[in-house]
Amino acid sequence: MSPRRGLRGFALAAAAVLFFVLLCMGQAAPEYVSSPNLDNVGRGMLEHPPFGTDERGIPIHEYALQGAGIVGIPALVAALITMAFATLAGIVRCADAPWLDTALQAAGELVGALPRMVVILVVALMLPYDWRVLLPVAVCWALLAAPAAMDEAASSAGRLGGARFVEALRAHGFTATRIYAYHILWNNLRPVIVRQGAEVGMQVVFLEIALSYLALASREPSFTHPESSYSWATLLYQGYTWILGQDLFHSMVLGLGLVALTAGCAQLFRLAASAR
């Protein structure tokens, strides 16, 4: 086995483990965090394992678990939507259907021209109070990000030769299933499709943190989760107060660690799907 293939296998295993850990954290999240305990205020990691407590004496690992439950499934759904659109664009570019290819390009240009953050804020503000969950925002973000993924997948398919590439393989006796599933998608478009999906999934996590941080800073209800739940933004907001003099450095460490875990998982998926 070549070193590069071994590296891809290691990256895939590591990415799968990290993502599984994220999903397990979400499943283990308590419905409500512990009640405040003034006897445990501001305890560090060593004083109150595993990660210490906040300014109200609540264990901050409960915030980490609830935050994982908020972002896990919506990020996965957004990644799958983006990958599906990229796959469609790549297949259409190789099929003998110029009208459909043109229609997809026109729709992509129309959607791609929309200001993403403005649309996301409008969608978040339009959600009824009882529907304050991340999934609608994540789906909207995936649809807005899909045109870029479709353009890259279509360009990669075009460099193969498009319909001429398919006809050449058919002349050698390959079936349509083998041509599209193996030669086009698996051998050539896989790196683009997986990378775009991983990036959008990561962006959804960061988007949730940004929206929740904005709500925390302005003392408003969150756009992405009910008031009984806490986002990873809570950890970063508490970590910011450490700069102002509060003893919550461990919140900053945990919050940044979760951000790094998310980014690392996305990069490992990208590496695992890299071209041979």
Domain span at residue 31?
Answer: 3-272
And the tokens for 145?
Answer: 């990000």
Question: Any bridge partners for residue 59, and if so which?
Answer: 53
- Burial grade of 257 (CB within 10 A; 0-12, 13-18, 19 or more): middle
Distances in whole angstroms, Cα of residue 124 to Cα of each of 1, 59, 119, 182, 224: 49, 29, 9, 40, 8
* Among candidate residues 61, 80, 208, the one with its CA nearest the CA of residue 133: 208
Q: Rounded distance, CA 106 to CA 80, Å?
A: 22
**pLDDT in the model for residue 141:** 96
List the CATH number of the domain containing 92.
1.10.3720.10
Q: Rounded distance, CA 67 to CA 238, Å?
A: 14
**pLDDT in the model for residue 6:** 79
Per-residue pLDDT of the chain (276 residues; tens, 9 = 90+): 566 777 888 898 999 999 999 999 999 998 888 888 888 877 877 778 888 888 888 899 999 999 999 999 999 999 999 999 999 999 999 887 888 888 988 998 889 888 888 999 898 888 887 788 899 999 999 999 999 999 999 999 988 888 888 888 888 888 888 989 999 998 889 999 999 999 999 999 999 999 999 888 888 888 888 888 899 999 998 888 777 666 778 888 899 999 999 999 999 999 988 766
Q: Rounded distance, CA 245 to CA 198, Å?
A: 37
Number of helices (H), then strands (E), in the chain: 10, 0
- Give residue 74's Cα distance to chain centre: 8
What SS3 state is found at 124? helix
Distances in whole angstroms, Cα of residue 106 to Cα of each of 24, 109, 112: 41, 5, 10
Number of domains the chain is built from: 1
**pLDDT in the model for residue 166:** 87
Q: Does the pTM exceed 0.85?
A: yes
Question: Any bridge partners for residue 53, and if so which?
Answer: 59
